[in-house]
Structure 1
Amino acid sequence: MLYGLWISSLLLATISLLVMVGLVAARLFRAHRQDRREQARKRLLPAFLTFTEDGDQEAFLGKVATVPMSTTVDLALEFLNLMRGDEHESLVNVLTTAGVAKELISRVTRGDKTRRIHAVEALPFFPGSDTLAAFQRALKDRSADVRLAAAIGLVAGGSTMPLSDLLDELRVGDLASRRLVGLFRRLPSDRSDELRTILTSRDTPSIVQAAAIEALGTSGDYSLLPLFAASVADGEPEVSAAAIHAIGELAHPAGAATVVRALSSEDWQVRAEAAAAAARIGLDTASRQLSELLEDDEWLVRYAASKALFNLGTEGRSVLAEVARNGKPRSQRTAALLLAEEGYEA
């Protein structure tokens, strides 16, 4: 029995030693690989700097051939993000000759998710039919992040693929509203009608409607006010809150009635957005309703209302000061906190 225990202990010690040796070897290998990358980068960086000065493609390509393609790709993207005009175009041409575009296209469908996203996001530097085809392939990717990056690339590249078809490919249930906004904002202004159509369709998920509203809200187009007002009346809370926010962004008096009604909404997000919108539009007449929201059960609504009153100017600040002195305890605390935060003495 003791012999068996001794053998078991020896085996465990041996296994532990082997594991430790393996971990040390892996660490040394990673350190060696990182050192090789750094050395390759140091050799190639002067070639990039020299090319931006003399434009000698032959010398540049000769230097590129001596380092791994991954080093060339990493440095290429750094320089492309910094350069503009003719120098940028010249660098794109020589990097295409060096095979950088081809390498990025091959990465779109291989490697881990981060690597694929990185490749898709970099491809717009190399416009062309091959790039558009790569975006189309990436739309079938299993990762929602990769599909979204491909959709943005297609839109930025001038693809005429209908937005409704693009959303079908994206499978929007896997996406967050904020990420869709980034896609919608990249649509050319002459395609804004597609966003309007999506917004008014009853088949459109609320997450897509909210994103469309947010994207349209920065357009400065006052003709959208009736559409936003209808979204407040008929939409889900997420959609209504986005529509009120957009009305506030437009800051046009024609949106006042919708904002005033939204101040008494059953949804706290809508009430909070309505309070902020009231200040942007300059609704002095809403001071009473805003002061009532200082008693709201939701802290964010109370804060938004107090901030709105302060931003309304003299009249709103007078209301806040009065509440801070003589209001109900909850309202009093909220008003006093906001005034102290703004450094305003009642």
Structure 2
Amino acid sequence: MLSLLIVARIFAERASHNTEHVRKRLVPVLLGGDANVDRVFGLELRVATRLTLELAEFTRGTDQVELLAVADALGVPGFLHKRSRSRTAQKRLTAIEALALFDNYTDVVEYALNDTNPHVRLGAALALSARSDAPDLSELVRKLRIGEVENSLLLVSLMSDVAERDPSSVRALLTDASLPAAAKVAAVDALADSGYTHAPLLAEIAANPSGDPELQARVFRALGRTGHPGSAHVIEAGLANKDWRIRAAAAEATGQIALRRFADQLGGLLSDDHWSVRFRAGEALLRLGEPGAAVMRRAAAGSEALASRAATILLAEKAAS
């Protein structure tokens, strides 16, 4: 057994030495900018592929174009194409992400949007969206069959990535009536997770009714999560919206952003016809400190039955906590 381990170590060290030797030889070839090179095979091809991906991370513009041209001549994209058909999802994923760098293989990456593995589908979508000739986001969503098979966390990952580069495409997606709700929910969550960055965009979306009260309410809650006070005027309008779901969400956002000047409007919602609105308004008031607490105490002692009961219950719950 010991002799086998020794032999295995010798072979491992020899393989490592060979790999390092090949790396040292190929680095100047890949960075040389001369695509008039011979194809490589076996270990050299595997090393060339790894080096291409490593070097692509640090090159841009003309330098990257020249790097990829040399890699193409060496046979790297063909090797990646073969790996993209592997039975192992992780191998397919890394191959697809890399192939998106090569202009002649975008059709292969698009085909991967139909992969059986959701992570490979997402990787393909992210890789395509990062290209300068990226497909329209709405079209990408359709090809991914979002809302039918995708996991919500994967959707948020995609939307977050796209929102960083092209927030206008996310806004367009939210107004596309032909797309599933799951994609729009993921888009809203991605914008909210960015904090202040996309709060103005969320405020713009909230100010323009989508025709979907559930989605609109989610946008208002997302505004609250950003904590951006610049959306106050939109939230104030939401407090008076005719749809109870939007009123409730706007009340929640008011508390999250601590918009104390809206304490009286929240007090008025304590007598709303819908319990959810009364509850969210009361919760928001309790988050506003003394101005909100004062409104709650007045409502509890007042003659309006719905407001008095809602305020009394919430004040008692707060005292007991």
Task: Give the TM-score normalised by structure 2.
Answer: 0.62
Supply the distance in 2 between the matched residues of 1:87 and 1:49 (Cα, whole angstroms). 14
2:190 is aligned with 1:211: no
2:21 is aligned with 1:46: no
Supply the distance in 2 between the matched residues of 1:261 and 1:88 (Cα, whole angstroms). 54
Match of 2:173 in 1: 195
Supply the distance in 2 between the matched residues of 1:243 and 1:253 (Cα, whole angstroms). 11
Question: Structure 1 residues 144, 153: CA separation in 2 closer, same or farther (over 3 Å shift)?
Answer: same
Supply the distance in 1 between the matched residues of 2:172 and 2:8 (Cα, whole angstroms). 50
Root mean square deviation, CA, Å: 5.0
Match of 1:257 in 2: 236
1:125 match: secondary structure: coil
Match of 1:84 in 2: 60
State the Cα distance separating 1:117 from its structure 2 match. 0.9
Q: Contact 1:247/1:255 (CA < 8 Å) preserved in 2? A: no
Supply the distance in 1 between the matched residues of 2:231 and 2:11 (Cα, whole angstroms). 59
Match of 1:123 in 2: 99
Supply the distance in 2 between the matched residues of 1:159 and 1:206 (Cα, whole angstroms). 26
Q: Contact 1:105/1:123 (CA < 8 Å) preserved in 2? A: yes
State the Cα distance separating 1:269 from its structure 2 match. 8.8
Question: Structure 1 residues 219, 50: CA separation in 2 closer, same or farther (over 3 Å shift)?
Answer: farther
1:123-163 CA-partner distances (Å, limit 9, x unpaired): 2322x2x3121122212211122122223333333557555
1:67 match: secondary structure: helix
Match of 2:275 in 1: none
Match of 1:72 in 2: 48
Supply the distance in 1 between the matched residues of 2:132 and 2:66 (Cα, whole angstroms). 22
For structure 2, the 5+ residue unaligned runs are 193-197, 268-279, 294-313
Q: Contact 1:214/1:246 (CA < 8 Å) preserved in 2? A: no
Instruction: State the identity %.
Output: 19
Question: Structure 1 residues 162, 63: CA separation in 2 closer, same or farther (over 3 Å shift)?
Answer: closer
Supply the distance in 2 between the matched residues of 1:271 and 1:28 (Cα, whole angstroms). 70
State the Cα distance separating 1:55 from its structure 2 match. 2.0
Supply the distance in 2 between the matched residues of 1:197 and 1:29 (Cα, whole angstroms). 65
Supply the distance in 1 between the matched residues of 2:149 and 2:22 (Cα, whole angstroms). 40
State the Cα distance separating 1:180 from its structure 2 match. 3.8
1:120 match: secondary structure: helix
Q: Contact 2:206/2:216 (CA < 8 Å) preserved in 1? A: no
2:79 is aligned with 1:103: yes
Q: Contact 2:159/2:170 (CA < 8 Å) preserved in 1? A: no
